[in-house]
Amino acid sequence: MSEKEKMISGEIYNPADAELYYERIKVKTLCQKYNQLAPCDSETRRKIIRGILGKCKDHTHIEPNFFCDYGYNIEVGENFYANHNLVILDCAKVKIGDNVFIGPNCGIYTACHPTNAEERNAGIEYAKPVTIGNNVWLGGNVCIMPGVTIGDNTVIGAGSVVTKDIPQNVIAVGNPCKPIKNAD
């Protein structure tokens, strides 16, 4: 099994593998081009983001700067908007539904590192997928940690760190993020 296959299947893998290294360089080069485009160059912006993301619909808009590890593990639904400085570490699948809005300076992380120092220092890691449902709003400076699912029609308050699944139809805030009331 290749290191890429291990990564995608959630097993421990070596991110220094040549194939993975070149895939990261390729997408980071595309992200750099995307981030340097003139704001009025919407056609080139659409073309490049389609080359970065694994799957996206017609109404996908990501403000620069945008960064990701591989791109092909990211799927976004219809009517997706992300404000400035979105970081998606997509070593595992990141699936985002329709009508999702993401505030500035947010991070979605799938990469996990061993807690054992010897293993961590060996450079190995693993990844857990993240799923964000339909009609979700993430406030500014939200961090979504590996393995989390956020349900439909949910709002995550600004500055929250989402470490566990959040159900649908709630407003959730805090570090760690917890539901505080039902969404309207």
The residues annotated as belonging to the active site are 113
**What is the sign of the dihedral through the CA atoms of 6, 11, 16 and 20?**
positive
Cβ–Cβ under 8 Å, residues 180 and 171? yes
Continuous segment of H or E residues that includes residue 68: strand 66-68
Candidates 130, 134, 136, 149; CA nearest to 87 is 130
DSSP readout, 114-144?
-SSHHHHHTT-BEE--EEE-SS-EE-TT-EE
For residues 151 and 131, the answer to whether their CB atoms sit within 8 Å is no
Residue from 115, 133, 113 nearest 123 by CA: 113
Both structure tokens of 174: 């805090």
